[in-house]
A and B are shown apart, each in its own frame.
Chain A
Amino acid sequence: MFKKISRNLFLTMMFIFLYFPIFYLIIYSFNSGDTMVSFDGFSLKWYRELLHNKDILIIILNTVIVALISALIASIIGTLGAIAIYQTKNKQKQNILYSLNSVLIISPDVIIGISFLLLFTVFAIPFGFMSVCLAHIAFSIPVVVIMILPKLNQLNGNIIYAAKDLGASEYQVFSRILLPLIKPGLIIGFFTAFTYSLDDFAVTFFVTGNGFTTLAVNIYSSARIGISLEINALSTIIFVITFVMAILYYIFEIRGGKSKYVKNN
Chain B
Amino acid sequence: MFKDFKKYAIIYYLWIIIFVVLPILLIFIQSFLDMNHHFNLINYKTFFSSTYLKMTFNSIIYALLITLICLMLAFPTAYLILKTKYKKILLILLILPSWINLLLKTYAFMGLLATKGFLNNILVLLNLNPVQFLFTIKGFLIVSIYIFIPFMILPIYNSIEQIPENLIKAAQDLGANKWQIIKKIIIPLSKNGINAGIQVVFIPSLSIFMITRLIAGNQIITLGTAIEEHFLVTGNWGMGAAIGSILIISLFLSIFIVQYPRKKFLRKKNVDIPSVGGANV
Contacts and interface: CB of A to CB of B under 8 A. Distances in A.
Task: Tell me the dominant secondary structure on chain A's binding face.
Answer: helix
B12 interface: yes
A206 B84 contact: no
A110 B88 contact: no
A103 B16 CA distance: 10
A81 B77 contact: no
Contact of A220 (B11, B73, B210): B210
Given A109-B204, A110-B228, A160 B108 contact: no
Nearest to B199: A106
Contacts of A146: 275, 277
B20 A18 contact: no
A223 B110 contact: yes
Interface string A233-265: 001001100110010011000100000000000
B104 A219 contact: yes
A75 interface: no
A71 B21 CA distance: 22
Contact of A11 (B80, B116, B232, B255): B80
A146 B274 CA distance: 11
Given A81-B15, A116-B23, A108 B207 contact: yes
Contacts of B13: 84
A51 interface: no
B5 interface: yes
Interface stretch (B24-32, B42-50, B186-194): B24-32
Contact of B15 (A77, A107, A220, A250): A77
A105 B27 contact: no
A77 B77 CA distance: 37
Nearest to A146: B275
Contact of A243 (B19, B96, B114, B210): B96
Interface of B: 1-5, 8-9, 11-13, 15-16, 18-24, 26-27, 30, 73, 76-77, 80-81, 83-84, 88-90, 92-94, 96-97, 99-112, 114, 116-118, 146, 149-150, 199, 203-204, 206-210, 213-214, 223-224, 227-228, 231-232, 237, 240-241, 244, 247-248, 251, 255, 275-278, 280-281
Given A25-B111, A105-B277, A119-B26, 14 more contacts: A11-B80, A18-B97, A101-B20, A110-B223, A115-B27, A118-B26, A170-B3, A195-B99, A199-B99, A216-B103, A219-B101, A223-B103, A223-B110, A249-B92
18 contacts: A19-B97, A25-B108, A77-B12, A83-B2, A84-B12, A105-B278, A108-B204, A108-B207, A110-B208, A110-B224, A110-B228, A111-B27, A118-B241, A138-B15, A170-B4, A198-B101, A202-B208, A238-B104
Ranked nearest first, the 3 interchain pairs of A and B with the lowest CB-CB distance are: A36-B111, A115-B23, A108-B207
